[in-house]
Structure 1
């Protein structure tokens, strides 16, 4: 009897208690956890939108922000030079604006957007290249408007840099 208890205790010592988190790393699974778990279905992120929309390009000296909306004004896609992978002073370049604009346009073309009206604001260098990238990505640009706010002798602007 004493020998049987000793054998049972050895068996218990040989079996390891495995955490479920560790089980995925080592490949060990307890008998109770061997059952397949039900997988939750993911909702499709892609939604269909109207074929017409608006593109708002805000181009500053440091960054370019592109926002694409549907007819009602609901945002269906956006991108910035920073989200395209550029950091620091490279965010203000025309190339960064072109890449960000192409990324954003690719997202909304998959959703079904075809025609856009473009509204550009700001003094940045990425204005024209962002519009060209929209046209090259398959969106039909119906109109381009400059909506940069211009003061009627309001606040004094910051001094120009001497480089």
Structure 2
């Protein structure tokens, strides 16, 4: 039996809109040097929506820019408001260029920001450093 065109391509592109019972949530902003990922969850940690520099249509090294991060934040915030979220606390992680612009975009997108927390991991001595050069 031959597959239809939509089955041959794989997953459908329509997103499921999850209605939120609670108006509070958490926006997780993970900003690396290569990309910025924004995941908006409820207070229990269930994902409501997510977006990244790559999902906004930007490719390659431009995914790690502040512009791509702000576009991803706006996209995620629009979907979160659509599903019923009103207030959000922002948790920022990582050293990338998109940190500040993603936070600013979330603040101006219609979501009320209740707080901003930096949860970047800091090593307690971590990996061994490279040997110093002898000149």
| TM-score of Structure 1 vs Structure 2, range by shorter chain | 0.7 to 0.9
- Look up the SS of the partner of 1:65 in the other structure: strand
2:91 counterpart of 1:119 = yes
TM-score by length of 1: 0.68
* Higher alpha-carbon deviation: 147-156 or 56-65: 147-156
Corresponding residue for 1:64?
36
Equivalent residue number for residue 71 of structure 2: 99
Work out the number of aligned pairs and report it: 116
Q: RCO (CA 8 Å, sep 6+): is it higher in 1 or 2?
A: 2
Unaligned runs of 5+ in 2: 5-14, 131-135
Question: How big is each residue's C-alpha offset from its partner over 1:32-82, in whole Å with a ceiling of 9 and x where there is no partner?
Answer: xxxxxxxxxxxx933321100001000000000000001111000000000
Gapped regions of structure 1 (runs ≥ 5): 1-20, 22-43, 159-163
1:11-160 paired onto structure 2 within 5 Å: 45-49=16-20, 50-156=22-128
Output the CA distance in 2 between the equivalents of 1:69 and 1:128.
20
Write the deviation string for residues 84-127 of structure 1: whole angstroms up to 9, x where unpaired.
Answer: 11111100100000000000000010111011111000000000
Q: Distance in 2 between matches of 1:116 and 1:156?
A: 38
CA RMSD of superposed structures (Å): 1.7
**TM-score, normalisation: structure 2:** 0.81
- TM-superposed CA distance for 1:156, in Å, is 4.0
